[in-house]
Structure 1
């Protein structure tokens, strides 16, 4: 067996992704990912690095979007609650400050219910009007209001966390970009 990239060299390993035979020099190039992915040929190694770079770039964009939306909601909430007189505007401001975590918690409750239904089967409720599927609306509402209340306190911490995480993801993506450039 010979190396897929160097026809004059004997193959010493096989790529764990595509099965191509590779020489010691080609196997050495994928050493940083060997513990995670096994030995990779240069082509598969390049693909893995590209996928990882794209993943971190996408995560960075999501974190920045979350931080910006939360910041806008929180600041506008403070403006409504503190700057504009009146009980209605105070309530609107409080809701705006916690709306992003409230929506996230509501979605989490829905996902948890769907996962439970998939694992254990759907739950049905028998009432006077018939048999109905229990969608646990009350649980979703409880999670929404809990997220709304805790969101007032959690949102500033999350905004800071998301900006820090976005900066780390940018640094990691640049590191993988440099690795790709060196290949």
Structure 2
């Protein structure tokens, strides 16, 4: 089943409205907030419908929902691990901080997939997406713990594997990931 993207965006915004409002578990209140959120979302998305041209395939969305949930779970795990690591480094200043930049070529090519991965990196404490190389389809990732680059790259590659499925990329999660470059190796430095 296909619906217009702006209509799908209205549905998503309605669901977000419920979470933002912090609705109590009372059916009447939930229904009222759902109705209010949907009316507001319809007006907003209709007003910006040119940004949401085309249609969305709902069956694809239902098919990739489990992968999206795993992506969110993986992200939340890394968020917690990153917070604990950074807090530990703040509370024990003797803990080494060895910043390094990782040049990470990607297999995903869609802008939404790249943006999702880049935002996930930047939202995780201790890492930051510094830049995107459009020609090489690669991210520059800064990390405060350069001792073990594999531990930085591993969750990003898991996110990328999931994003390949979620965003319907041409690549396959089983395709080999391109090699990364660390610190001084970037751009032949």
TM bin, normalised by shorter chain, reads: under 0.3
Work out which of the two has the higher radius of gyration on C-alpha atoms and give 1 or 2: 1
> What TM-score, normalized by structure 2, do the two folds share?
0.27
> What TM-score, normalized by structure 1, do the two folds share?
0.28
Q: Which has the higher helix share?
A: 1
